[in-house]
Amino acid sequence: MPVLCIMASVLLQSGVYGFVSGRLGSTDSLALSCAGFGAAAVVFNAVLLVRRLRAGRGGAPVAAPPGAGRLLLAMNVVTAVTFLSFYAALSWIPSALATGIETAIGPAVLALLGLAGIGRRATAAGWAAAGLLVLLGGAIAWSFTGDGGMRSAGSAVGIGLVLVAGIGASVLALVSAKLGRRGIDPVHATAHRFHLTFLCGGALLLVVGGTGAVRSADWPALLVTGVLAVTVPLFLLQRGLQGADPMVAMVLLTTLPGVTYLAETAFHGGFDGLSFALICALMAVALWYARLSRAEPAKDGRAGDSAGTRSRAEPEPESARALG
């Protein structure tokens, strides 16, 4: 079930990213963030309210597990940094390039965090695979922009923002797995993780575009796009991340750039065989990496350390407790 949720999220996000690629200015991307993340907060807080009213009629509501507040606060901060950086990057670089770089660096970031005692340590083969993914991400960037494009200010800003988003996405996978081990419902997590994102997005929209940008934005269209690109797929992704091993989840997300590129081509044309071949190579390496990451725990008897198999009654390792 977690894998199906992640893949459904990928299909929804990639389709919308392919559609909006090249159509968003800086104020449009911020307005889309406000619409999508604001809608997610409203919808899932409404669901929580209905649940609490029903629980009130049937007995005492279930209290959140200890430490949930700190984890959700961390989710708010990292979510805001990750998604505002990503959506801002879409106004500078193509969606397939943004998703390709973001997902390519994910396993390497998790491997580096493992060295710091957060999450599982990567083996030598795992490090080699992560390094190859980074190289492929760089090759994808070159295939989209060329030498001149890589040196342009716009591409540099977009790629820098996507690198920030990639680091944030890796941390989100770890924190989401922690939430799953604590038994926090995905609806509860989704209802409380986006507040800082839409507030910061709204503030940046006012700073960048002023009140005129707020009034001129096509809010009905942005709301529909935001629900399809953010509200629904990120709930599915949250469910998947809370039930899957973080490394396996990040590897599944490497399919996002390939599907996004196909969606971009379908909506805008301009298919490039080299770019698509590099994206397919990235996905192939990622699948090999997934097999390595799933096999590593079995070799040393730590198969129960993954988020999807650990018993909630078992104590968490020090690396997990470092996240909250």
Burial string for 2-18 (b: 16+ CB within 10 Å, else e) reads beebbbbbbebbbbbbb
**Token representation of residue 86:** 């990503």
* Three-state secondary-structure class, residue 33: helix
Average pLDDT, the chain: 77
Lookup: tokens for 123 = 């083996």
Which helix or strand (DSSP H or E) is residue 93 part of?
Answer: none
Question: What percentage of the chain has pLDDT greater than the value 90?
Answer: 4
- Range 217-241 average pLDDT: 85
Q: Rounded to 10 degrees, what is the CA torsion of 108, 129, 8, 47?
A: -30
Per-residue confidence band for 312, with pLDDT thresholds at 50, 70 and 90: very low
Q: Where are the beta strands (DSSP E) in the chain?
A: none
Q: Is the pLDDT of residue 46 over 80?
A: yes
Q: For residue 292, is it left (φ>0), alpha (ψ between -120 and 50) or beta?
A: alpha
Query: How many Å apart are CA 292 and CA 286, to the nearest integer?
Result: 10
| pLDDT number for residue 212 | 80
Q: pLDDT tens, 274-291?
A: 878 888 887 788 777 766
- Given a cut of 90, whether residue 20 has pLDDT beyond it is no
| Lowest-pLDDT range of 78-87, 234-243, 308-317 | 308-317
pLDDT tens track for 59-85: 555 556 666 788 889 889 999 999 889
Asked if pLDDT for residue 196 goes beyond 80, the answer is yes
Calculate mean pLDDT across residues 15-39. 81
CB contact set of 78 (below 8 Å; sequence gap of 6+) = 168, 171, 172, 175
- The 10s digit of each residue's pLDDT in 150-187 is 567 777 888 899 999 999 988 988 888 888 888 888 88
Q: Is the pLDDT of residue 122 over 80?
A: no
As to burial, measured by CB atoms within 10 angstroms (0-12 exposed, 13-18 middle, 19+ buried), residue 103 is: buried
Using the predicted structure, report yes or no on whether residue 142 has a pLDDT greater than 80: no
| Sequence spans of domains, the chain | 2-57+67-321
Question: Around 279, how many Cα atoms within 13 Å sit in the side-chain half-sphere?
Answer: 28
Structure tokens at 154: 């716009």
